[in-house]
Structures are given as structure tokens and as C-alpha cells.
Structure 1
């Protein structure tokens, strides 16, 4: 596979946040990680199954032919049922992969099944290196779509998912999303991912408001084991 073009350096201006906001954001992250760690495994499993079933029954999911997903790990709400259903229904499944050539950036990769995954940084499952990806540097203007070559180079896929499911440490009732602090999703989402964005989390990760930064990207829907919110 040819070497992808060097992505521009992008840095989220963390230092520009007031100290009290930085502390509040870190407090939320610590609190949510603790709540997830204290959740009994069998309860996390049943809650994950309930949330995934809500999505599987949702017309927006059922009508989608191309979906951006992620592999849930480290106490996140599981996505294995969604991935299995998407592949079984022959949806195009886009999964994130960290860009080793561009710190802080990730790309999305069309992945055809679990056999095309391998352990990535911090133990996260990612698409194998042989599969081509679509990075945020390809979105130069609002609404522009980047084309990703297929593995054999004979065809192209447009990165144009009908729906995108996003992880997060916490979400709020206005659609605010607080990530893990690396900024990977915020850098990608700010470019041109214009499909419906769905935050996927446990009900206890949903709060009334979050100490958000100007660069924090929002979602249109939130799905938990108890409900789907349209925001």
C-alpha cells in the first residue's frame, strides 16, 4: 500500500482553558472511570445488550447501509452485537485506527469482519495495516468526501457513513461529549462528518451538563440501555 500523505499537525489548545475548567473535566473523567470500574461485569453485559438492542430496533440504524462504529473496550459499553449485526446485514462498517505517522490523528477504515482486526495502541482492536484508511486531512471543505482505495486498488469507497456511533467518557442532555482527552474524535468530527452522530454510553454516563471546551464536538442522539434521546 502506498504511504498516505503527511497529515497536518493539529493541536487542541488545552492551555487556553481556565484552570477550573480543566480540573472540572478531569474530575468528570475520574468519576466516570470509577463508576465504570465499579460496575459488576454481568450488569455491564446486560446493560450493553439492552443498549445495542435499542439501536438494532431503531429505524435510523436499520436503514443505514454504511456505519461508522468502534470496538468497545476498557469498560465501555460493548459494541460486539452491533458489529456482528452490521457485518451479517452486509453494511459497510468503518472502524477507527490511530495514525502512527501523525500523532493525535486517526483514520476510518472499511473493515469486513473480525478477522481484519489486530491489537493496536493500548490494546485497542483496530483494522489491520493492509486496509486503506480515510484521514481527516482529506476533508478540505464542508461536505467534501474523501475516497478510499479498496485493498486491491481496483475500486474506491466513499467515506460517507449513514450514521456514526461514538464513544465518550460522558455526554450531556444538550449533546455535549467529553472524550478521553486525546482529541482524536474531535479532530476528525470537526472536518466534515455530517451524518447523524450517536453517542453510545451507559445511563450513568449521561449528565445534565458538562464543562465543555470550544473544540468539543456534539452528537445528535444519545443511546443508553434505557432510552434513545433526540437532541
Structure 2
């Protein structure tokens, strides 16, 4: 059995190295926005640390005419909610300490969710930070299309997938969009 804690540590180091080696990766990934599946509104995220920055992708989605929302942690052990958001609108820290729209912003249900990650595999496996926020949310919104946003170098051979882990439909990287191969 693979030690997920060690794997997370290794993949954090890899992602940090990739971020330093390729500071233009996010802009190149955003140039492939037209390859993404349809869906509106689209959930994006505010990058933390070495996560692939979603700012250029956010602007490209707006240029496509899509509306945006951001995830909000209301309770630590519950699914996240989403609030409508546009660049330049004020943010406040949610219960997880992540920038999120103010409570007066409209709550929406995204059709497409772009998620940061530490690692992904060809079958839609996703290794997150370990808090379970996205897996709980994916389980609560089974009809939403789940897309990882990452550096190509974050791909792993086969990630350990447990019962509570929800697979991605695909991943957008600096080289383009790739749909996950079905394993069912």
C-alpha cells in the first residue's frame, strides 16, 4: 500500500519545482480553454502556494462568455458551496483560510469544477491536499464535470484511489486538455 502522506510530500515538492521551472505554464494552459467541456457556471479557484495559477484561465473563460464562481468552505467536514464571482470583486477568508467571495454573493451550483491538485493519473485519479474538501463536494454534486488544472509533470502512473475518492473527468495542463480514461 502506498503511503499517501509521503506521496503528498513528494508531489508537493515536484509541483513546487515545476512552478519554478515553467512560470508561463498557466498562460499556455489557458490558451487551451476552448478544449474544455461545456458548462456554466464554472468553478475556478484562487491559487495557494505552488498550485497552478488560474488567473489567465479565469480571463479566458470570461472571454468565452462563461460565468464564474469560487468554492467556499462553510464547515470543515461538509461539501463546499459555490458563490458567484468575477475578478476584482472582494474576497474574504473562508473557514479553511482560503480567499472566497463575500457571504452576500449569490450561491450557485457549478456545471464544471476546475480543481487544483498535487497529482493526477490517466484514469481520473486525483491526489489532493488531504482535507477531502473537493471529494465531499464532488460527491454532493455528481452531475458537475470535474476537471483538474495542473502542470503536465504532475501526472503519476497510477494513484491510490480509495472508496471516498471521486475521479476527474479530465485534466487541463499547459499542453492541452485530456479526458480521463474510464476504468469502470
The TM-score bracket by the shorter chain reads: 0.7 to 0.9
8 Å Cα contact 2:70-2:82 kept in structure 1: yes
Structure 2 distance, partners of 1:37, 1:199, is: 17
Pair member with larger Rg: 1
Residue 48 (structure 1) aligns with: 26
Residue 85 (structure 2) aligns with: 111
Residue 83 of structure 2 aligns to a residue whose secondary structure is strand
Q: Which of 138, 143, 149 does residue 200 from structure 1 map onto?
A: 149
Cα offset, 1:175, TM superposition: 0.7
Q: Which of 77, 81, 92 does residue 52 from structure 2 map onto?
A: 77
**Runs in 1 of length 4+ with deviation above 6 angstroms?**
none
Structure having the larger proportion of residues in helix: 1
- Paired residues, what number? 179
Q: Residues 180 and 58 (structure 1 numbering): CA distance in 2 closer, same or farther, change over 3 Å?
A: same
Question: Does residue 35 of structure 2 align to residue 58 of structure 1?
Answer: yes
Residue 70 of structure 1 aligns to a residue whose secondary structure is coil
Residue 24 of structure 2 aligns to a residue whose secondary structure is helix
8 Å Cα contact 1:199-1:222 kept in structure 2: yes
Residue 165 of structure 1 aligns to a residue whose secondary structure is strand
Residue 72 (structure 2) aligns with: 97
Q: Residues 204 and 39 (structure 1 numbering): CA distance in 2 closer, same or farther, change over 3 Å?
A: closer
Residues 71-125 of structure 1 show CA distances to partners (whole Å, capped at 9, x for unaligned) of: 12210111001222334554221210111xx222321111133323234466532
Q: Which of 142, 161, 178 does residue 212 from structure 1 map onto?
A: 161
Structure 2, gaps ≥5 residues long = none
Q: Which of 124, 146, 149 does residue 175 from structure 1 map onto?
A: 124
Residue 134 (structure 2) aligns with: 185
Residue 178 of structure 2 aligns to a residue whose secondary structure is strand
8 Å Cα contact 1:95-1:110 kept in structure 2: yes
Q: Residues 177 and 112 (structure 1 numbering): CA distance in 2 closer, same or farther, change over 3 Å?
A: same
Compare relative contact order (CA 8 Å, sep 6+) and give the higher one, 1 or 2: 2
Cα offset, 1:36, TM superposition: 2.2
8 Å Cα contact 2:125-2:159 kept in structure 1: yes
